[in-house]
Amino acid sequence: DTRDPTSLRTPIVAVLGHVDHGKTSLLDKIRGSAVIEGEAGAITQHIGATAVPLDIISTIAGDLVDPDDFDLPGLLFIDTPGHHSFTTLRSRGGALADIAILVVDVNDGFQPQTLEALDILKRSETPFIVAANKIDTVPGWKEHEDTPINDTYESQTDRVRERLDESLYEIIGNLSDEGFSADLYWRVQNFQRNVGVVPVSAMTGEGVPDLLTVMMGLSQRYMKEEMEIDVAGPGVGTVLEVKEEKGFGTTIDTVLYDGTIRADDTLVVGGQNEPIVTEVRALLQPRPLAEIRTESRFETVDEVSAASGIKVAAPDLTDAMAGAPVRVVRDRDLEEVIAEVQAE
């Protein structure tokens, strides 16, 4: 292996928020913008995640992001469901993330799962920003597709601006009630101390350049050291979901945050009673959309490196637990790896 042994991995970004506030639409918008730019192939769909490389972020963000200012490779987004019954999936996504976007509908404001997501972020000490979404629904709003917030804001009438400001200050007030000092993102100096609020529309793309710029800047500034990993080293990840998959038996949807998993690796996975020691049978990624009609929704890959989402098929996974650690053994001492999984 001739690769540089240490490299900077992609930060993992969880997208959290109340049901229907626009989490999936926001990711769809980012994917859609890349398609329009003729770069559809550059964004890769992972199991439970979407990888957006730096050059695409820079294309969408326009003047706001100069790729030369960054050395992180991009962002890996994890979408989470907002429905109340998905608490565990939400909290796993939140705990796994290096950073997060809390999506709040500007009209609907704080709702039960907004508060729950905030609590998850608080407990896991995950830095986050708030996307105040659906600004296009403010009565009288004039759309300016895919523009930075400042440009579109300036061209609204006074009345529209006042209405938006009111909603934004209500969100800032709600954050303050929960113990977070927050402000509109362009007034925030220190994103570790203050939460930045970014007005966006997942529908029109307004503010999306700002959102990506802030996420990229936040990662680069505060997260860079944590992103330094030994890419070729034994993989380390977390089980997002345990799923039955036709033709593969029980599989684990895993988010890998360190090292590499190979198709011939031995794994130790956290189980209901004790750690499971197993051999990878297949590493599965979603097929590109165009090939969806083929016999399987998945294609097998030989290896995958952090950060990524991957479905692992292996024997004996029925007792695997969502939220549990996954560790590759490779040339390490098996007992030591088992002890690490037990300790987590």
Q: Compute the least distance from the CB of residue 37 to ligand GTP, in Å.
A: 20
Q: Which two tokens stand for residue 328?
A: 């590759």
Which among 17-25, 272-280, 298-306, 318-326 is the span making contact with Mg ion, rule CB under 5 A?
17-25
How many residues bind Mg ion (CB under 5 A)? The answer is 2
Strand partners, 325: 238
Closest CA to 207 of 195, 197, 216: 197
Q: Does 24 bind Mg ion (CB under 5 A)?
A: yes
20 versus 319: smaller Cβ distance to Mg ion: 20
Q: Give residues with Cβ within 8 angstroms of 310, minimum separation 6.
A: 46, 47, 237, 253, 254, 256, 261, 283, 284, 285, 301, 304
Q: Compute the least distance from the CB of residue 52 to ligand GTP, in Å.
A: 17
Q: Which does 136 bind (CB under 5 to 8 A by kind): Mg ion, ligand GTP, none?
A: ligand GTP
9 versus 29: smaller Cβ distance to ligand GTP: 29
Residue type at 43 in one-letter notation: I
Q: Compute the least distance from the CB of residue 200 to ligand GTP, in Å.
A: 7
Beta carbons of 254 and 309 less than 8 angstroms apart: yes
Name the residue with the smallest CB distance to ligand GTP.
82
Which among 23-31, 46-54, 93-101, 200-208 is the span making contact with Mg ion, rule CB under 5 A?
23-31
Q: Compute the least distance from the CB of residue 31 to Mg ion, in Å.
A: 13
Tokens 């890349």 sit at which residue?
34
18 versus 327: smaller Cβ distance to ligand GTP: 18
Q: Give residues with Cβ within 8 angstroms of 75, minimum separation 6.
A: 10, 11, 13, 51, 52, 57, 212, 215, 216, 219
Q: 117 vs 104, 123, 169, 319, CA distance in Å?
A: 11, 10, 20, 28
Name the residue with the smallest CB distance to Mg ion.
24
Closest CA to 237 of 216, 227, 252: 252
Give the integer Cα–Cα distance in Å for 259 and 136.
Answer: 42
Q: Which does 249 bind (CB under 5 to 8 A by kind): Mg ion, ligand GTP, none?
A: none
Q: Compute the least distance from the CB of residue 108 to ligand GTP, in Å.
A: 10
Please tell me whether residue 183 adopts helix, strand or coil conformation: strand
Q: 226 vs 90, 188, 198, CA distance in Å?
A: 23, 23, 25
Q: Which does 163 bind (CB under 5 to 8 A by kind): Mg ion, ligand GTP, none?
A: none
Contact residues toward ligand GTP (CB under 6 A) are 17, 19-25, 81-83, 133-134, 136-137, 201-203
Give the integer Cα–Cα distance in Å for 117 and 332.
Answer: 37
Q: Compute the least distance from the CB of residue 189 to ligand GTP, in Å.
A: 28
24 versus 266: smaller Cβ distance to Mg ion: 24
Q: Compute the least distance from the CB of residue 344 to ligand GTP, in Å.
A: 29
Give the integer Cα–Cα distance in Å for 344 and 339.
Answer: 9
The mark string for 302-321 relative to Mg ion (x by CB under 5 A, - otherwise) is: --------------------
Q: Which residues bind Mg ion (CB under 5 A)?
A: 23-24
